[in-house]
Structure 1
Amino acid sequence: MKTKEKILETARILFNTHGISAISSKSIAEEMGISYGNLCYHFPKKDDIILQLYLNMQKNVEQQFKSIKEEVINLEFMLSRLKILFEEIYKYKFIYLGITKVVRHFDHIKKHAQDQFDQRWNILDTISGFLVANGYMKPFKDEKQKNMLIHALLMVSNSWISDAEVFYKGADEEKLDYYMQLFFNLVRPTLTEKGLEGFKKVYQF
């Protein structure tokens, strides 16, 4: 692993553990056992580290969303990718815990986040259309009902980490599965018998 990658990985772990505000560039350098000057050669400011981690996270999450869309004809595979998506989000939990502060601090991140939201909305719209057309999901009574469900799913995927940090009371090793269940239960009332069977093959809920 190159120095630049080590800096990013060390920063990610420290930010996840202590939060963005509590960690400085010097803290990251000390944790790595390198000079502050060496770190600044790669990332002159802490903001540069945060921005690169954010971009890395968005790239990885976007790949998972695209995989889900591309494999929509394979329901079991598509659903299994959702867990990988949640794992990827949790890997960068510090961003989601401080997302309001991050987007206010970086104007271009706010615009990027909004663009990503729109792209993911379109992906979920495509998926819901496939599920309805193939008998996995009941037809929506109108466009508003469909849009409300899509927004709720995106809201959970964007904010479950904050909820988990404060309100989750279960075992840590069961945390991800719990929020996957919560995510799936938003969809459950809309599923047909065929859809319920398909979901149960992948995930018990």
Structure 2
Amino acid sequence: MKTREKIIQTALQLFNEKGLSQVGVREIARALDISVGNLSYHFPKKEDIVLELFERIRSTNEGHYAAYFAGPPQLDRFLACFRAIFHNQYRHRGVFMGNDEANRILQSQFGYAAVEQRRRDFMTRIFSELHTAGELSLQADELTFLVSFMTLFGRFWMMEAFVSFRDRPVEEIIDHYLGLLRFQLGLFATETGRRRLAKGGERSA
């Protein structure tokens, strides 16, 4: 593994263990047994490491959306997509736990407003297509609600999990939040949609 990747993986491990705000470049360098200067050659500032992690989160999530859009609009496929997204978010949970610092980096350097709008556009497209496919029954205001719900849910589920369920196995945590998502979608699902929800998002064998 190249030094740059070792830095990323070690930083992520430390962020996950202690939270973003509790880890600095000196601690990352010490864990790698390299000098701060050597680390700075690859990442001049801690923010550069965090930005790289945010970019990886974004890129992987967009890959999951792309895989979903490549197939038919179905609620079971939507839940499978979000199981994968939840895993990706949880794998990088440490960068979300230093909330003030993470927010500052997201707003000032990551172009988060554009990322957020793109996510809302994805949700609008997904739910509109599920409505057209006869799996959800949505009025215009209900579509708006579901998009806003997904934005809120996607942003805060992991914060609650970190506080309330941090000692549970990751699959158990994701099952819990996927169950909440399944229940919420079930309120707008047609009979066909409810059948899809009943079998959707199960763990891989």
Deviation sequence 1:156-199 (CA, Å, 0-9, x none): 11110111112338833411110111122221100011101112
Match of 1:16 in 2: 16
Match of 1:34, SS state, is coil
**How far apart in 2 are the matches of 1:23 and 1:29?**
11
The counterpart of 1:156, out of the listed 133, 150, 153, is 153
**How far apart in 2 are the matches of 1:6 and 1:127?**
37
Instruction: Report the CA distance shift for 1:46/1:195 in structure 2 as closer, same or farther (over 3 A).
Output: same
Match of 1:118 in 2: 117
Match of 2:173 in 1: 175
Deviation sequence 1:103-148 (CA, Å, 0-9, x none): 32454346x22211211111111111221112111132xx222111
**How far apart in 2 are the matches of 1:23 and 1:99?**
13
1:91 matches 2:91: yes
Over the matched positions of the two proteins, sequence identity in percent amounts to 26
Alignment check: 8 A CA contact 2:87 2:174 kept: yes
Instruction: Report the CA distance shift for 1:116/1:107 in structure 2 as closer, same or farther (over 3 A).
Output: closer
Alignment check: 8 A CA contact 2:20 2:102 kept: no
1:2 matches 2:2: yes
Match of 1:171, SS state, is coil
Question: Which structure 2 residues correspond to residues 39-118 of structure 1 after superposition, within 5 A?
Answer: 39-73=39-73, 75-105=75-105, 107-109=107-109, 112-118=111-117
Match of 1:138 in 2: 137
Match of 2:21, SS state, is coil
Match of 1:188 in 2: 186
Alignment check: 8 A CA contact 1:57 1:88 kept: yes
**How far apart in 1 are the matches of 2:85 and 2:149?**
17
TM-score normalised per structure 2: 0.88
TM-score normalised per structure 1: 0.88
Instruction: Report the CA distance shift for 1:165/1:197 in structure 2 as closer, same or farther (over 3 A).
Output: same
Superposition misfits of 4+ residues, deviation over 4 angstroms = none
Unaligned runs of 5+ in 2: none
**How far apart in 2 are the matches of 1:128 and 1:151?**
12
1:147 matches 2:144: yes
